[in-house]
Every structure is written in C-alpha cells, then in structure tokens.
Structure 1
Amino acid sequence: MLNFPLLSDIGSSTAHLLLVFGIGLTLPYWVDIRNTLHRAVLLAVTFLLAIRYISWRGTETLAPAGFTFDMFASYALFAFELLAMMGTVSSYLIMSRIRLRSEEADAHERWYGEKEPRVAILIATYNEELDILERTIVGAKALRHLNKEILILDDSRRDWLRDYCAEQGVRYMRRPDNKGSKAGNINHCLERLAEDPVPPDFVAVLDADFVPHRGFISRCLALFHNPDVGLVQTPQHFFNADPIQHNLGITHSYPDEQRFFFDHMQPSRDGWGIAFCCGTSSVCRWTALREIGGLPTESVTEDFMLTLSLQNKGWKTVYLSEPLTEGLAPEGLKEYVTQRARWCLGLMQIARSRLGPFGKNNLRLRDRWSVVDSVLFWTTSFPFRIAVIVFPLLYWFFGTIVVDAQLGEVLTFFGVFYLWGQMVQRVLMPGMVVPILHDVGQLIGAVPITRAAFTGLFKPKGHPFSVTAKGGDRTGITIQWQLMMPFLILLILTTMALLLGIFFDRFSYQDAGDGKWVVLFWTIYNLVVLSITILACVELPRRERHIADLPDRGLLTMDGDIRRYWISSLTLDEARLRGRVQAEGQAGHLRIRDIGDVRVQVIAPTVDGLRVRLLPTIKQREELLVRFYAEGAAPGTARSQLGGLVAGLGQRLSFSGPR
C-alpha cells in the first residue's frame, strides 16, 4: 500500500511555489508584452529555471551507472526530456522578441502612388468541390484591389470547373501532368504568366478553401515599400472548428491549435527576421520569384523552403499579423493528423536539403537556427509526449525507478519551473495554452508525426505529396479506431497499473519512498489525458453554421403582412428567426442587411419562431458569401474560457454531443 509523505517534507517546497505564484500574479500589472526588455527578462528567468531543473535531473535523479534495465530506462527518459527541453529553450529565445507591423502598413498605404500594381491571385485546386471553390473565387473577386487577375490552377482537369470559371470571368489553367504537386502547379502558372504581354508585379497565393478579406491585397502590398521584402505572409484563420475543438465540444471556449503559431510565434519570429511563408494567404514579389526560379519542389512543404530560397538570394520574408483571410480547417481527425505529419516530413526534407542548416549556402546564422528550432520541435515534442505516457508503467509493472526523487525535490525544481512557465505564458499569450488540452493536441498525432520525423531525416526523398481532404459528408458519427487504438491500449495498461500498484504491493518490486507519489501523480494525469484523447477520436456530426456576434434584425414579408424578426442564425441555405410563428411551406421575402429582399420559404416552426429556406438570386448568394467570409474580424475563438471548457468537456464526458 502507499505510504503518505510527511507534510513537513514538502513545506518549504510549497513555500517556493506560493512565492512564484504570487510574483506571477503581479506580472500583468507591469509587463508590456510589446517591450523586448520585458519579454527578455521574463523568458531569461524561465531559461534559468529550466537549466536549474535539467541540471538537477541529470545529477540527482538518474539510476546508478551499471548495465541494468533501471539505468537504461532512467537515462532514456532523461534523454527524451533533455532534447525536448532544448526545443523549449529555443522557442523561449525566439519569443523574447515580437514585431507587429500594422502601424507600418498604415504608414505606407499606397506607397506606389495612383497606379495600382498588377497582382495575380493564384488558387491551386486538386479535388475540392464547387461549394468550397465558389466562396474562394467570389471572395477574390470582391477584393478592393482593382488591378488583379484571378487564376484557377486545376490539377484535376475538370471541365465543369473550366465552365464555371468562364461564367465567373476568371482565368482557368490546367497542365498535362501533376509533376511537383502544388509547387509544380504554381510553377507552371508562373511560366505562363511570364509569357503574358504584361506580367504581374506581385503574386498572391490562396489555398482553394481560403477566402480573402476585402483588404487582403492592399494591406499586404503596403509592406512591400521596402524593396528588400520578397514575401509578405499573413495568418490563417478558420471559420470552422478543428477536429479537437469540435469533437470535445469546446469550439467556443478553446482556440484552434494554430492560434499559438500564427498569433504569437510568427510575430516573434518576425522580430528576429525569421518569419516564414506558410503557403496560402501570402503575397510574393514577381521579380523575387523569377530570380529563384519559382517555388522549390524538393520538399512537400514548399512554403517554408520558399522563404529559405528567397533569403538565400537576399530577399526578406515579413509577417503581417492581421486577420486577412479565413479558410477551412481539416474537418476530420485523420486529415488533421495527416496534414501535420506532412508538415513534419517536409521540414525534415528541408533540413536534409541544399538549404538545410549545415548546407553550403548563403543563409544567415538565424535562418539556420530557424530550421534547427523547427527540427527540434517535430523530433522531440511528440516522442517525449509518448514517453511521458509509457515510462510510468515501467515502475508499476516492473518496479523500475526511472526518476529517483522525493516529492519535495520535484516540487522545488520541476514545480517551480513549470508554474513560472505557466504564469509567463498567461501574460505573454493569455488563454492560449491549457495544459491538459495542449498535451491532448500533441498526443493525438504523436505516433504518425514521430514516424514522419525520423522517416524524413533518414530517407528524405521519394515521398508523395498528401492532399488534405476538405468537404465531403460529415453528417454522421465516425470513430477513428486506427488513431484511437494505441491510446485505448495505453489507457487500459495505465488503469491496470494504477490498481495493481495501489492494492497489491507485490507488483512494485522496489520502494521509491515518497517518490512513489510522483509516479502516482503522472499516472493519474496520464489517465485524464488518455481519456480525453480517446474522446477526441469520436468524431461528431458537423453542419454549416454562421451566427452573428450579435443577432441581426430582419423584415419578413408574407402575404402582405410585414413583421420584424431577430435573425439568430444565418447560412447560405437557411435562416432561423425569432418572432411570430408562420405556417410551414408559406413563402415570402426576408430583408437581410446589405443583401436586400431574399425569397424564403418556411421549413418548420421552432420554440421561439421559425426556420426558413433561403432562395437567393446568384447575385444575392455571392453577396452572402462576401458577408460571411470576406468581411469582419477574425472568426473563431481567440482565447480559452474556463467556464466553457468545463461545460463542454463535461457534456462530452457524459456521452452527449455539443448543443
């Protein structure tokens, strides 16, 4: 049975934690997150605490040297942790600076004068459906920048898409083969543009599912006032929930997984001059693209490699942290994981390429560090997340003491470091990192991402480009058994280990003293993480839904009767109205702000009103698309909300879907 540690043994450690917690609470009152000195001080303290912790781990907690399983397991976990800590420290260094360029864009608006530069907007497509392509094309046409040409690059050679582009008045382009995948598709277009009588001055790239806001081009062009800037990247925002948000019922209380990178890491990278292209939502200078010979095709992540190719020729990549496009996040968990595994594989290919950190090229030291930092992230974070789940099992089943430490020491060294890190994150990126959910997000793709990382490092060539599927039928519940199975097995083993360790001492062959409580804590923590990860593998039905930040007023006319209603939900096909109930099947017109009178038909009454089917004209449909996707602020959730998280997770754990 477990022996309870003496409270006196952890008293001083608790005092250390309370001191750190108290100092952390004062940080929001004096820290200016845009001040480089303030950021540097906070992260320097974090770095020192990290060094203090890892030094203690390496000198005080490892098993004695000798050819034993204890030593092998102990040193193996420490190696995982040391490498992960190197990646963490590198990210701390990057985040010690930040650069936000909105004021610069304001100051240099229309620096080019009265004559607008010519911009080619390239939309590469492979297998997307019309409803996805329609909103992107309509959004591109609605851009305020007038001197533009929209090109649809169809790698599936679909006649119906060619005909639709003709109807929309946009340029359609196809090629005889799919060599080079997306990068090859864009390069083929660049060659055709070079043959035009007047080539473009700039080239914008949009994924087929990304809709530009109306100011996307003009805001990006403002940063090209500097003749050394070759590419401007903007963040990606998503109008739908990613699979983790959706499947856990926390869409409105937890930010999507990409928010940390686009809202915090990229501005910090820009502070060091190492922001990089992320493909879609970017604008590149035509002369820079021609100088480097188009997009590189050696990696399945041609976007990051494009930045390195530009820098190798002296061109800068800068980042404008404004919500200027919004797109479709992967709707299925399998696609979500596949996408991230592709990013990982592509980065490893870059590391092994001519533009790698140890290659003979013209890259600056900071560019090489940028690649090394990314390699550390992909090769250490995800294997370490697996190790944290697996290694506690060695104690319960085999009596292997992987970390030989007392509870008080763990609180003093690890607890202080971890708590301070959380307090700093709370100030620099409030509501962005929730520990358990952050671990779930890493664990859910850890196995395929780890496989991709080491496959890419040791065999960088010969891997096909994997397209992230978008759209399709998402109306039913889908259980991703293949993704779930490793976590289900680990959950069963961890549960068995905990029960055996608590009630049967014979399953613990060595006594770890009160260090056993450290193992117990991580075991219980892992049970929670594994349970939520398994829950996230159960994919819930999806449906299109657009809800205004504030309910809108609408005027409903039926049979000469005119009444005001609240429009509480509005999509391309339906609207939900609050007000007097009307008869099913009744037809009329609904006046919608900025759209006009749209024909409607009552579908069914509701508790507080009715649902109507919209029957818009082609022009009205396009106006609705612009309103939904091309105007307004960033969609989605910007920061975590504790109450919503608890409610959403509680609802899912009770086996009911989100409301």
Structure 2
Amino acid sequence: MRLALTRVMVVLTLVSGTVYVSWRWFFSVNWENWWIAVPLVMAETYALIDAFLFGITMWRARRRGEPPEPPDPRHTGVDVFITTYNEPVDMVLATATAAQAIDYPHHTWILDDGDREEMERAAQAAGVGYITRSVDWVDQPRHAKAGNLNNALFRTDGEFMLILDADQIPDRRILHRTLGYFEDPAVALVQTPQWFSNVTDSDPLGSQAPLFYGPIQEGKDGWNAAFFCGSNAVLRREALMQLGIVGYVRETERAVDRALSASGRLLNRSIRRARREEDPAGPVLVSVRDAVLQARAELDGGAPLADVTYGFQRQVDSAARTLVQDDFRAIAADLAAIEDLPVEIDQELGSVVIDEAALTRLAERDWSPLGAVESVRELIRVVDVDRSDEAQPMMPLATVSVTEDMATCMRLHAAGWSSVYHHETLAHGLAPEDLRTMLQQRLRWAQGTLQVMLRENPLVQKGLSVGQRLMYFATMWSYLSGFAAVVFIAAPVLYLCFGVLPVNAYGLTFLALFAPYIIFNQIMFFVVGYGVRTWRGHQYSLALFPLWIRACVTAAANVWFGRPLGFVVTPKTRPVGGTRFPVRLVLPQLVACVVLVLACVVGVVRLWTGVTDSYIGTGVNVAWVAYDLLILSVIFEAALFRAPQPEPTEPTEPTEGQVV
C-alpha cells in the first residue's frame, strides 16, 4: 500500500514538475534579464532532475524481511577487520573486544595504519590479530583506508570480511543476521545502517542520516544498487579478489596499449625518413608498423593480453632477423669499402691518415634501421607488469577516490555481482560532535563521490544496468546542488531590492503551475519518509552550499590537474575547547542570511511606497526568502551545538540487533 501511494505521488510530482519547468523555459524566461533568468530556470531544471532521480530511486523501494539463516560455520571462514589510523587505543580496543564477542566463529583483526607500538601491545594482550603495512608500502602511494584494507586482504584468508570503523561497536549477532544472504552466490556485499549512539534526538549536525539509511538505501536495493558505505558491511573475498585481478589486467593492457602507441609514432617517423632516402628497409618497417596496428586492434577486440604480446613480439623478431641479415651484408660491404680507402702513414705523427673525401663518403653511407625496430621491441618488453609504482600489483578495493567504498561497489555491480541492504542496526558508532569535524567529514564524502563521477562516470560504465547507472548518478548529482542554491538565494534578493524580474510575470498562471508542483513534491517526501526524520537532510542539502561548491572545485582540480586533496581522518574524540561561535565556518551562510533579511525589508518598503505594485511577486519572493532562512538556520544551530558530556556507565553486554 505504501509503495503504491509512493508511486502515485512520484507520478504527480514529476508530471506537475515537468509542466511547470517546460512553461518556465518556453513561456516565462525574461530574456531582458537573461543573466539571472537563465541561471534561475537552469537551477529549477536541476531541482526537477533531482526529483526525477529521487522518484526513480523510490519506485522500487525494497523492504526486506527476516534474513536467511547463516551458513554452517564449519565451512565458512570470516575475518573481522577494524580499520584505524590515529584513534585512541582504548576506543579501538573496545571495538575489538566487542568484535571478539560476536557469536559466529571468526577471526578479529586490528588494521593499524598508524603502525603504533602501543596499539600492537594492546592487541596482543587482548588476543586480537594485528596487521600493519608491509615494507612493500615504503615510499609508495598509501591510498588511505583502501590501501589499509588491500594490504590486509593479502595477509588473511577468510571467505567473508566484516569491515568496521574504529568506533563502530558491533552487535554480537551481526554475522548471524547478514551471512545468510551470501547463500546466493551472486551476492558480494551486505550493508547495514550506520547508527550513532552519541547523537541527540534533535541531531543538529545531521549525522544520523535516517533518509539515506532507510528509504534511499532501500530504494537503491530495489535496483540492485545498494551502496557499500565503508563500515558495518560484510563482503565476499572472492568478489574483491576478482576486482583486483580484473583491475590488474586492465592496467597492464593500458600499459601495453601506451607502448604500442609510442611504437607506432616511432615507426611512422622512421618510415617517412626511409621513404625520403629510398631506404630498401622501408617495407620491413611498414610490416612492423602494421603489426602494431594489428596488436592494438586485437587488444580493443578483447583478445587475451598474453596472446597479443606474444604474437607481436614474434613479428618484430622476424623483422629484426631480416634487418640483421641485411646489416651483415651492409657490414661486409662497409668493411670492403674501408679496405679500399686510401690510407697512408704520417711519419711525423706516427698515425694513420685517411683521405678526407673518402671519410666523408663513409659518414654519409646509409646504415640499417635495426635500431628503430629494437626500440619497438624494447618498449613492449619493459612494460611494468609488476606495477612498480604501487606497493601491490593488485588493488582489490578501488583507489581512484578518497571514498573507496562507492567506487569499489560500483565496480562490483559492473562485474555482475549483487548487493543487499539489510535495514537493521547491528553496530553503534560515534558521530562528529562539533561543526568543524562534521564539515571535514562531509567535504571528504563529497570530494570522493565527485572524483568517482569524473573518473568513472556511471552513465558510461560497461556492465551496469540502467537502474544501477541512475542510482549511482543520483548520489553524484546531488553534490552539484551548491551552485543551484546560490541562484535560489540571489534571485529573490535581486527582485526585492532592484525589481529585476527573472520571470516574465508573477501572476495567477505562475501560481497555478508552481503550487501543484511544490505541494505534490512535499507530500511525496512525507509519504516516503513517514515515521523518519528527513528534514535535517533536506536542510543540509542546501545549507552546506559553500562546502558542495568547494568539493566540486577541488575534486575537478584533483582529477584534471593532479592537485592533491589531502586525506583527513574524521576525529572520533571530543574536541577540546571550542566554546566560541565559529564565525569563519559559517561566514557565507551568515552573509546570505543578512542579505536575505535586508532584501525582505527593502521589498516590503518598495511595495508600501508604490515603487512596485506586484503583490503576488513580492509575496512569492518574501515567502521564498523565509524558506531560504529556514533552510539556512540549521547551520547556525549546528555551530551553537555542544555535545552533552557522557555519563559514566558500567560496561554492558552488546544487545541484540535493533531494527530501525
């Protein structure tokens, strides 16, 4: 019943939205003020596309019931990985102790990327496995958390892996409630929600994310596109290792292709020179160049890499032998020519003197192009199959982004694997407790997601279904909202203060088309999120507009120009001090609010004094300002938030899974 009602509201929202935005483009853009009119209608179009993507997500929302029974532990090996870098030893040990208490047989490992002696001693004392980076990683790219996990994958052998962040205390039944899904041999991932025990009901920092860890993940699950979120997830080793092998082969193929491309350019130059000089070896060079073209075509056609390189090397060897035979004949002729040179002995200097004219003829002699062919053969021979620029030839978890989870999951789906979202709280973690930490975390998420979009756009990735492409793209698309937010803030200010009309007229036609769209849209969100607090997420999607814009700019600079992003581990401890209001963190939003309030006052005064006579236009824009202020207010609430001091409690046994 709820899914049917959701679909009805999705249809009403998208139909009314399409009618409104079409009217805006074709009949209401005020081209006289195109510089704000066009950005505004583009921002409205962006919002409509966002609504389309959300509606498609919710169209097939899947609410799973009881999970299948777990497999026989006698035939199933499980590793529990606890990733850490600089978190307090006590915190990591608390997570490890809870992990050891998990009912299902397993082996617990602390993956310490900080390589701390005190952490190793604590792990040994607790009887927990301890893994840090091998010496192979010295002076090599580390790839943050992805590198830490990739290192551990080659030092353990469990069939399945439960991945936990350092602060995520697992429920003792977490494996019982998730492993049963892997009875389906196509399942590579089971993701559970991230739930935070230090967040109040009001959650001013928006960390709990009940809309994502609920309706959105259930919607993606309906399209077989539930995301891996980095923690509280179980993965199948076979699936990850397959990704590592495929990635290794693809990287080697790219290296061979680059070597073949360079060989083609070298040969083309040699062929042009041979033709100019009428070198009889020209046809041999052409045959080698044709072999290069054939090898590249075979690679593009999916031929096995070993077969391609072997066949190509044989053709080059054959050409080289032909040239060597010609060289021997040329050398014999050269020796004969040298013997015929006029030579005399300078009695005073005691040295041989060769006739200058004869020496010039010898220097101008046409020598064999064997060197060009040898260069081609060497280019292919030295392809770095060991990937010396990396600590490991194979990297099962993706390293193209600072958010390794999304990139890895997208590759799993593209390879034909399935994922599951199990909507039950099976681990309790710690959320950021101040605005600065929260902003660092959100910036990293946004940057990583946009890195994936720019490097591996899901819309063009082979292997993904149409639904999967849209589910990944929907998340990436959402981080572009910062640019639309700037326009939505600027447009009412320009109208109220200066009478700049981006729309031809604010009249009854505008209200008749806009009102149904916005009403249906809000009802759709109410139906989808019934019983779930979704307002915080909606506020932050717009209120963090400076952060989203920064993420777009920095991610693009990283992907296109190689500028480093840096990697900041989200602090898991309570910040010291920080009682002052963090003006610098919220300055853009503060300026926007002041400007909006002033614009509202100016607009009312202009209407009262008769400078403008559009009651509908002024009313719509004042309401627009009020809505913007309501949205932006969350950032100031977050800036003022001070996490309550935890009360000392006696240790308790982990409780059974809490259904969200």
Q: What TM-score comes out, normalization by structure 1 length?
A: 0.71
> For the residues of structure 2 that align with 1:433 and 1:407, how far apart are their CA atoms?
35
- Which secondary structure does the structure 2 equivalent of 1:120 belong to? strand
1:478-497 aligned within 5 A: 478-497=580-599
Decide which of 175, 185, 191 is 1:233's aligned counterpart: 191
Decide which of 30, 52, 58 is 1:95's aligned counterpart: 58
- Which secondary structure does the structure 2 equivalent of 1:151 belong to? strand
> For the residues of structure 1 that align with 2:400 and 2:423, how far apart are their CA atoms?
28
How far residue 270 of structure 1 moved from its aligned partner, in angstroms, is 0.7
Where does residue 233 of structure 2 map in the other structure? 282
How far residue 504 of structure 1 moved from its aligned partner, in angstroms, is 4.7
Q: Indicate yes or no: 2:15 matched with 1:84.
A: no
> For the residues of structure 1 that align with 2:609 and 2:53, how far apart are their CA atoms?
40
How far residue 87 of structure 1 moved from its aligned partner, in angstroms, is 1.6
Greater mean deviation of Cα atoms: 475-484 or 292-301: 475-484
Which structure's residues are more often helix, by fraction? 2
- Of structures 1 and 2, the one scoring higher in RCO (CA 8 A, sep 6+) is 2
> For the residues of structure 1 that align with 2:484 and 2:461, how far apart are their CA atoms?
32
> For the residues of structure 2 that align with 1:527 and 1:363, how far apart are their CA atoms?
40
1:181-220 aligned within 5 A: 181-193=144-156, 199-220=157-178
Decide which of 346, 368, 378 is 2:479's aligned counterpart: 378
> For the residues of structure 2 that align with 1:543 and 1:328, how far apart are their CA atoms?
13
Residues 170 and 426 of structure 2 are in contact (CA less than 8 Å); yes or no, is this contact kept in structure 1? yes
Residues 120 and 151 of structure 1 are in contact (CA less than 8 Å); yes or no, is this contact kept in structure 2? yes
Q: Which letter does structure 2 place at the counterpart of 1:425?
A: F
How far residue 271 of structure 1 moved from its aligned partner, in angstroms, is 0.6
- Which secondary structure does the structure 2 equivalent of 1:115 belong to? helix
Decide which of 417, 428, 436 is 1:334's aligned counterpart: 436
- Residue 390 to residue 290, structure 1, CA distance change in 2 (3 Å): same
> For the residues of structure 1 that align with 2:26 and 2:514, how far apart are their CA atoms?
14
- Which secondary structure does the structure 2 equivalent of 1:217 belong to? coil
Q: Which letter does structure 1 place at the counterpart of 2:238?
A: T
- Residue 81 to residue 244, structure 1, CA distance change in 2 (3 Å): farther
Residues 203 and 286 of structure 1 are in contact (CA less than 8 Å); yes or no, is this contact kept in structure 2? yes
Q: Indicate yes or no: 2:658 matched with 1:633.
A: yes
Q: Which letter does structure 1 place at the counterpart of 2:20?
A: Y
Q: Which letter does structure 2 place at the counterpart of 1:272?
A: W
How far residue 390 of structure 1 moved from its aligned partner, in angstroms, is 2.3
Q: Indicate yes or no: 2:603 matched with 1:501.
A: yes
Residues 223 and 468 of structure 2 are in contact (CA less than 8 Å); yes or no, is this contact kept in structure 1? no
Where does residue 526 of structure 1 map in the other structure? 628
Q: Which letter does structure 1 place at the counterpart of 2:111?
A: L
- Residue 359 to residue 222, structure 1, CA distance change in 2 (3 Å): same
Greater mean deviation of Cα atoms: 303-312 or 221-230: 303-312
Residues 6 and 527 of structure 2 are in contact (CA less than 8 Å); yes or no, is this contact kept in structure 1? no
How far residue 503 of structure 1 moved from its aligned partner, in angstroms, is 2.6
> For the residues of structure 2 that align with 1:352 and 1:528, how far apart are their CA atoms?
33
Residues 311 and 363 of structure 1 are in contact (CA less than 8 Å); yes or no, is this contact kept in structure 2? yes
How far residue 217 of structure 1 moved from its aligned partner, in angstroms, is 1.0
Q: Indicate yes or no: 2:15 matched with 1:48.
A: yes
> For the residues of structure 2 that align with 1:529 and 1:317, how far apart are their CA atoms?
34
How far residue 378 of structure 1 moved from its aligned partner, in angstroms, is 1.1
> For the residues of structure 1 that align with 2:116 and 2:73, how far apart are their CA atoms?
39
How far residue 46 of structure 1 moved from its aligned partner, in angstroms, is 1.9
- Which secondary structure does the structure 1 equivalent of 2:109 belong to? strand
Q: Indicate yes or no: 2:86 matched with 1:127.
A: yes
How far residue 398 of structure 1 moved from its aligned partner, in angstroms, is 2.4
Q: Which letter does structure 2 place at the counterpart of 1:61?
A: S
Where does residue 268 of structure 1 map in the other structure? 219
- Which secondary structure does the structure 2 equivalent of 1:479 belong to? coil
- Which secondary structure does the structure 1 equivalent of 2:203 belong to? helix
Where does residue 467 of structure 2 map in the other structure? 366
Where does residue 139 of structure 1 map in the other structure? 98
How far residue 126 of structure 1 moved from its aligned partner, in angstroms, is 0.8
Where does residue 594 of structure 1 map in the other structure? none
Where does residue 456 of structure 1 map in the other structure? 555
Residues 144 and 214 of structure 1 are in contact (CA less than 8 Å); yes or no, is this contact kept in structure 2? yes
Q: How many residues align?
A: 501
Q: Which letter does structure 2 place at the counterpart of 1:121?
A: V
Where does residue 393 of structure 1 map in the other structure? 493
> For the residues of structure 1 that align with 2:415 and 2:406, how far apart are their CA atoms?
15
Any unmatched runs of 5+ in structure 2? 245-395
Residues 474 and 542 of structure 1 are in contact (CA less than 8 Å); yes or no, is this contact kept in structure 2? no
- Which secondary structure does the structure 2 equivalent of 1:209 belong to? coil
- Residue 537 to residue 61, structure 1, CA distance change in 2 (3 Å): farther
1:404-451: CA deviation from partner (whole Å, max 9, x where unpaired): 44354444222222222222332232143665x555322342211222
Where does residue 356 of structure 1 map in the other structure? 457
> For the residues of structure 2 that align with 1:57 and 1:276, how far apart are their CA atoms?
36
How far residue 540 of structure 1 moved from its aligned partner, in angstroms, is 1.8
How far residue 208 of structure 1 moved from its aligned partner, in angstroms, is 0.7
Where does residue 440 of structure 1 map in the other structure? 539
> For the residues of structure 1 that align with 2:609 and 2:51, how far apart are their CA atoms?
36
- Residue 89 to residue 239, structure 1, CA distance change in 2 (3 Å): same
How far residue 131 of structure 1 moved from its aligned partner, in angstroms, is 3.7
Where does residue 414 of structure 2 map in the other structure? 312
Q: Which letter does structure 1 place at the counterpart of 2:235?
A: C
Residues 434 and 643 of structure 2 are in contact (CA less than 8 Å); yes or no, is this contact kept in structure 1? no
1:152-203: CA deviation from partner (whole Å, max 9, x where unpaired): 111111111111111111011112557111000111111111xxxxx21111
Decide which of 59, 77, 82 is 2:26's aligned counterpart: 59
Residues 491 and 530 of structure 1 are in contact (CA less than 8 Å); yes or no, is this contact kept in structure 2? yes
Decide which of 632, 642, 651 is 1:540's aligned counterpart: 642
- Which secondary structure does the structure 1 equivalent of 2:482 belong to? helix
Q: Which letter does structure 2 place at the counterpart of 1:480?
A: P
What RMSD, in angstroms, separates the aligned Cα atoms of the two structures? 2.6
How far residue 481 of structure 1 moved from its aligned partner, in angstroms, is 1.6
How far residue 238 of structure 1 moved from its aligned partner, in angstroms, is 1.1
- Which secondary structure does the structure 1 equivalent of 2:420 belong to? strand
> For the residues of structure 2 that align with 1:431 and 1:88, how far apart are their CA atoms?
21
Residues 188 and 418 of structure 2 are in contact (CA less than 8 Å); yes or no, is this contact kept in structure 1? yes
- Which secondary structure does the structure 2 equivalent of 1:77 belong to? helix
Where does residue 166 of structure 1 map in the other structure? 124
- Residue 116 to residue 217, structure 1, CA distance change in 2 (3 Å): farther
Where does residue 113 of structure 1 map in the other structure? 72
- Residue 257 to residue 632, structure 1, CA distance change in 2 (3 Å): closer
Q: Indicate yes or no: 2:366 matched with 1:415.
A: no
How far residue 502 of structure 1 moved from its aligned partner, in angstroms, is 2.2
- Residue 326 to residue 419, structure 1, CA distance change in 2 (3 Å): same
> For the residues of structure 1 that align with 2:162 and 2:14, how far apart are their CA atoms?
39
> For the residues of structure 1 that align with 2:83 and 2:498, how far apart are their CA atoms?
54
Q: Which letter does structure 2 place at the counterpart of 1:152?
A: I
Any unmatched runs of 5+ in structure 1? 1-31, 194-198, 248-254, 546-570, 573-613, 615-620, 639-659
> For the residues of structure 2 that align with 1:540 and 1:407, how far apart are their CA atoms?
46
1:318-355: CA deviation from partner (whole Å, max 9, x where unpaired): 211111112111222122122222112112211222x4
Residues 404 and 515 of structure 1 are in contact (CA less than 8 Å); yes or no, is this contact kept in structure 2? no
Q: Which letter does structure 2 place at the counterpart of 1:292?
A: L
Larger radius of gyration: 2
- Which secondary structure does the structure 1 equivalent of 2:107 belong to? strand
How far residue 263 of structure 1 moved from its aligned partner, in angstroms, is 0.7
Report sequence identity in percent. 29
- Which secondary structure does the structure 2 equivalent of 1:206 belong to? strand
> For the residues of structure 1 that align with 2:171 and 2:10, how far apart are their CA atoms?
35
